Amino acid sequence: MSLDRYSTEMSSLFSEEYKYKTWAEVEIALLKAYVRLGIFKEDDVDFQELEKAKEELDPARVKEIEKEINHDLMAVVKALNEKAPKSGKYLHVGATSYDIEDTATALIFKKAFELILKELDNTLSLLKEKAKKFENVICIGRTHGQHAIPTTYGMKFALYYQDFMRCKQRIIHAKERILVGKMSGAVGTMAGFFGKGIEIEQEVMKELGLNYAKISTQVVQRDVHAEAVFLLTLISCNAEKFAKEIRNLQRTEIGEVLEMFEEKQVGSSTMPHKRNPHKAERICSLAKLIRANMSIALENIALEHERDLTNSANERFLFAQQFILTHYVLKEVNKILKNMKIYEQKGLENLWLTKGLIFAERVMLELTKRGMNRQEAHEVVRKIAQNCYESKAEFKKLLSENAIVSKYLNNKDLEQIFDAYNYLGNHKEIIKRALED
């Protein structure tokens, strides 16, 4: 199955061609380490020839060789050797396949996370802009799907800002652990590196700009890769959280938000009036797949002895899917943020759907402030609220007619209590604090 539908610039990093060239880059870095440490003579190696061979590496030729020998890494080595016969005979000395492949994976992850961070920065910029713009645009807060008390759209966007900021921080903090290569041989002892294994590994990773695994078996340990997969999973989960809110607020019955349609966009093949939140729904759909991939990454951790191949086949799909789909999901989030419409008037209408019941907490607190027992105040207000539910009467009217409440609150007091703009707490300070980098 192709990922073309969800392709971004991330896709090129996980192409076969790019993988082969990255393997070649690691092979050349290993040979450079041998030369620098004096194990092979500089005159015997032509690095210009090798670099040219790397750039001209033909994926079709690699595939031909692989069909003959049934080993993709050695197919790359042989293809390089064909193009650079003088130097090619020194390639892959002492190394095992995953010295090359795991180190190349770290290089690909390095560039892939750069793209993720770039897109995350776009997300953060858009969320900050929205949080400031809608700081005081009031709406009803909902808990358990029910109307709670007033909040603002600025609060919503500032919350998502922090969600994605934590995603960014996690990647930055985890890079030291994730961007690691190895050059340690068949079981991790470096036995094949002429007694210079430590120096060779350090030289290779310095050349490539990676950290080295302080100990490994035939592979970099898979909890390292599982952490990378987990970071992407968290991004997708936060994207889904945002997208679910868009979907719910776009419901016909709520109608506070609209995921904007393009001029010629079709919502339904049979219902011409439909304006479905298709981007938000797509985010939620792909988040399920990204989340499911996490279990595969965790299963790959417990390899047998110094390694087995039970991780190898699934990782050919796992890493590409995880990075490409997460990158695509972030881009969809950003498209929604750029073009979405908020219907402020509809938000105000929804605020009063329950005929003032959303101010029950404030009434209870004001009664307590004026001397009433808090538990008694809660019970009095609760009973009046239940009556309001049943009778569909205005909550403020029922409060004004209640003898107990009237001992503490007059009509003027109730007018002030039922001003939604005066019951937003410290929302401005909270938003400001949330947007601090």
Report the catalytic residues: 144, 268
From the CB of residue 12, how many other CB atoms can be counted at a distance below 10 Å? 12
Q: Is 415 helix (H, G, I), strand (E, B) or coil?
A: helix
Write the CB contacts of 184 (distance below 8 Å, at least 6 apart in sequence).
99, 190, 197, 201, 213, 216
Residue 379 contacts residue 404 (beta carbons within 8 Å) = no
Displacement of CA 162 from its chain's centroid (Å): 13
Which residues lie closer than 8 Å to 170 by C-beta, 6 or more apart? 231, 234
Residue pair 431/151 in contact (Cβ under 8 Å)? The answer is no
- Ramachandran sector of residue 143 (left: φ over 0; alpha: ψ -120 to 50; beta: rest): beta
- Rounded Cα distance between 342 and 349, Å, is 13
Nearest-5° angle of CA 307, CA 63, CA 289?
Answer: 60
Q: Which of 327, 225, 244 is nearest to 285 (CA)?
A: 244
Which two structure tokens, joined as six digits, stand for 256? 């506070």
The two structure tokens encoding residue 246: 């868009």
